[in-house]
Structure 1
């Protein structure tokens, strides 16, 4: 596919986050690498359905001003372990679209179908027609939100190839254990008393039936929780106290409450006097929330409310599996940065993030940058300190060999001993 200025990515999405200064050459190189990945690589790089993150890191790094050489370096490092794209196996069309969901060998077939369909469709048309199909909707929020993240990278940067990859991934993503998306919507019929997210998380943390379902000693906590019918139903009912009306003002307020909560769960779940353990799973709550913000303007009010609600319920599920950590913002405020001094501390953070070859660091920094833009009061350094914690904790020579993210469930006292 030949690159022209018309089909290069745009970084002008007001709900995304990008710095000025991305060059035409960087945009051209990014386009070439995204096309190469689209044509050559499967969406999962192993049989465990670990996700191909190449477009994520490339687009995030480009948005913060990465040079063409840095983009090529990222691609070379992370393309080395990808699985090759499979030949198209099934002739997928409108009438049999749902027949191949959850089949991993159907990825290239869904991709070919969506590539063709998306060319003349708007994001809203794509979402309404395809993303709301029940198994695909579940898949969109499954797998630690990866299909949602991937699809919405395409939305943010107006790239239909990446959108098609994301929705094809959602179609074949193994379903998370526990409740389905439709059950979340059905619980609204109970019309339970309205509560805030902090109130709900406190109630979950103090619910012994839910907590007993995922003891510290259990290695597969997410699966174990999902397979515990009693605990899952209690969790679903707890989260049903948080209502999102199909009203622009309520959606905005509830989204902001959710965004600030996932920042806290990621950054303020640390403990004073202990080395940071930036949780791999809670980190994805943060990286994905930016893409909810990116997606919302393209949806009807009804679908906006549903997307915000589903993200919260899935976040609550992950919250439980990480030991229901307590939030203490003072740990973040107490951080003493070791980053190089710049007049604006964000400058050092952005530079360190694009130089970091880890797949997730630059994504975290973009989400925190957007949070700072939306929520920080004048003089409040909470979000930049969370960003400094991230870039200063994740420095390693080879992120492929050395995982920089914490895997201990940090809500448990045992994780800090």
Structure 2
């Protein structure tokens, strides 16, 4: 039974029973939903520019690679990428942390950092990294799926993928896409349950996705093989939340990411999410995920709808990251930052995949946003923190200066976020003067660059710094 054929009074009764209110007119249109007590969605979300400008997302991103013999900076940059690839493991500190050195180097290089600056970035960011350790056993063509999701095999997976690349005449792109899209249905499994590595890229708060984005943007075979290894040892269950063609469809569906976050915000089932799991534990959310909410996010499998969904997810991730702190106490959450940088990685990757894969990756980014949003205790989005921010005469040159000269110039996440915001403006434009969202990405970048004083989000102490619904006396 479709919602539109129900009498208005019945719709109202059902929605109120489920803690929802609705704006319903006398037409046959589906009502616009507003969860009671909600603070997120009814703030509104005007796009920064018409979606048509974002059609560039279906074109490859500008190439970063150049001729090393003609560019000493690029030669120094690629030297450090190779050195990191040879010396440092992808995961370190008891396999808990990701090696972010390539992201810091790439961001610094793209922002125009000198050769000496790139050297300093490498020296500073490599201090805490660890050398490669042998895996329990080798990976070969017969067992390469046997240890998916096991980080102890990071070295073995990297060696395996590099051997496969060599057998393909060092064609790293062919090797990359072969393994990302290789399909296998387990005996007795469903036809749709094909376990493509591509469908696990948003595991590990999006790091495989981010790594792949840099590999494609820089056209670097070392990063590409690292991305494959990272995807392999991070692979888990996200694809199950995205791919199931027979989900328990909820009564009401939406194509609005802000409405998904809003429903999570207003759902009393998650009032104790942080007291139960602790803050900063995104992986635990997938142990008992909000299936109905995930399945209720419906996107048509065609380019215009996918572009629209992607742009809205970009805006939502930026607003969630930059406006979820308390008024007068600007703080920036480490995990929320990954929804922004993963969205930028999507921009690089999507031109290389087909419509079905685009649909999957956009929905997977939604799952990542919802997963992190819950893990960080459902903070409140307040768009006006960015919309009304006065940047004065500051521009992207100012952001470049902050990236290369501030006290956080060696912080890979700080650099990644600033660069992502700049890339979003290149993709979607500034909008028109006078519009509510005019210059939103530059405003967000200046606000973040000027206010940042270190990352929060790792413990429940951070709950007092984000603007979180007071369900557990945490304010």
Q: Given the two structures, how large is their TM-score scaled by the length of structure 1?
A: 0.83
Q: Residues 313, 42 of structure 1: CA spacing in aligned structure 2 closer, same or farther, 3 A cutoff?
A: same
- Aligned pairs for 1:214-293 (under 5 A) are 214-215=274-275, 218-219=278-279, 221-222=281-282, 224-227=284-287, 229=288, 232=289, 235-272=290-327, 274-293=328-347
Whether the 8 Å CA contact 2:318–2:340 is kept in 1: the answer is yes
d(CA) in 2 for partners of 1:66, 1:149: 21
Whether the 8 Å CA contact 2:179–2:197 is kept in 1: the answer is no
Whether the 8 Å CA contact 1:140–1:146 is kept in 2: the answer is yes
TM-superposed deviation, 1:405: 4.3
SS at match of 2:271: helix
Is 1:202 the equivalent of 2:257?
no
Q: Residues 105, 271 of structure 1: CA spacing in aligned structure 2 closer, same or farther, 3 A cutoff?
A: closer
d(CA) in 1 for partners of 2:391, 2:474: 22
Considering fraction of residues, name the structure with more helix: 1
2:180 aligns with one of 127, 142, 157 = 127
d(CA) in 2 for partners of 1:19, 1:35: 14
1:15 aligns with one of 61, 68, 71 = 61
d(CA) in 2 for partners of 1:413, 1:209: 13
- Aligned pairs for 1:389-404 (under 5 A) are 389-394=447-452, 403-404=454-455
Is 1:348 the equivalent of 2:398?
yes
Is there any run of 5+ residues in structure 1 with no aligned partner, and where?
1-12, 396-402
Q: Residues 98, 125 of structure 1: CA spacing in aligned structure 2 closer, same or farther, 3 A cutoff?
A: closer
Q: Given the two structures, how large is their TM-score scaled by the length of structure 2?
A: 0.73
d(CA) in 2 for partners of 1:217, 1:37: 34
* Offset from partner CA, 1:172-201 (integer Å, 9 cap, x none): 2374xxx54223221664555431222222
The aligned residue for residue 318 of structure 1 is 372
d(CA) in 2 for partners of 1:148, 1:82: 21
Whether the 8 Å CA contact 1:134–1:182 is kept in 2: the answer is no
Whether the 8 Å CA contact 2:253–2:297 is kept in 1: the answer is yes
The aligned residue for residue 73 of structure 1 is 120
The aligned residue for residue 225 of structure 2 is 164
Whether the 8 Å CA contact 2:249–2:292 is kept in 1: the answer is no
Q: Residues 158, 292 of structure 1: CA spacing in aligned structure 2 closer, same or farther, 3 A cutoff?
A: same
Whether the 8 Å CA contact 2:210–2:342 is kept in 1: the answer is yes
d(CA) in 2 for partners of 1:326, 1:383: 19
SS at match of 1:360: helix
Which has the higher mean CA deviation after the structures are superposed, 327-336 or 217-226? 217-226
Q: Residues 14, 279 of structure 1: CA spacing in aligned structure 2 closer, same or farther, 3 A cutoff?
A: same
d(CA) in 1 for partners of 2:380, 2:443: 19
* Offset from partner CA, 1:79-111 (integer Å, 9 cap, x none): 122110224664322221112223333211111
The aligned residue for residue 81 of structure 2 is 34
Q: Residues 25, 223 of structure 1: CA spacing in aligned structure 2 closer, same or farther, 3 A cutoff?
A: closer
Which has the higher mean CA deviation after the structures are superposed, 194-203 or 80-89? 80-89
Q: Residues 209, 306 of structure 1: CA spacing in aligned structure 2 closer, same or farther, 3 A cutoff?
A: same
Q: Residues 86, 16 of structure 1: CA spacing in aligned structure 2 closer, same or farther, 3 A cutoff?
A: farther
TM-superposed deviation, 1:45: 2.3
Q: Residues 351, 256 of structure 1: CA spacing in aligned structure 2 closer, same or farther, 3 A cutoff?
A: same
TM-superposed deviation, 1:116: 3.2
SS at match of 1:293: helix
TM-superposed deviation, 1:18: 6.9
Q: Residues 55, 133 of structure 1: CA spacing in aligned structure 2 closer, same or farther, 3 A cutoff?
A: farther
Is 1:150 the equivalent of 2:206?
no
Is 1:117 the equivalent of 2:189?
no
d(CA) in 2 for partners of 1:328, 1:221: 24
* Offset from partner CA, 1:245-278 (integer Å, 9 cap, x none): 3312221111111111111111122333x22111
Q: Residues 59, 244 of structure 1: CA spacing in aligned structure 2 closer, same or farther, 3 A cutoff?
A: same
CA radius of gyration, larger in: 2
The aligned residue for residue 442 of structure 2 is 384
d(CA) in 2 for partners of 1:100, 1:406: 31
Count of matched residue positions in the alignment of Structure 1 and Structure 2: 384
d(CA) in 2 for partners of 1:314, 1:112: 29
Is there any run of 5+ residues in structure 2 with no aligned partner, and where?
1-58, 185-192
2:468 aligns with one of 409, 412, 417 = 412
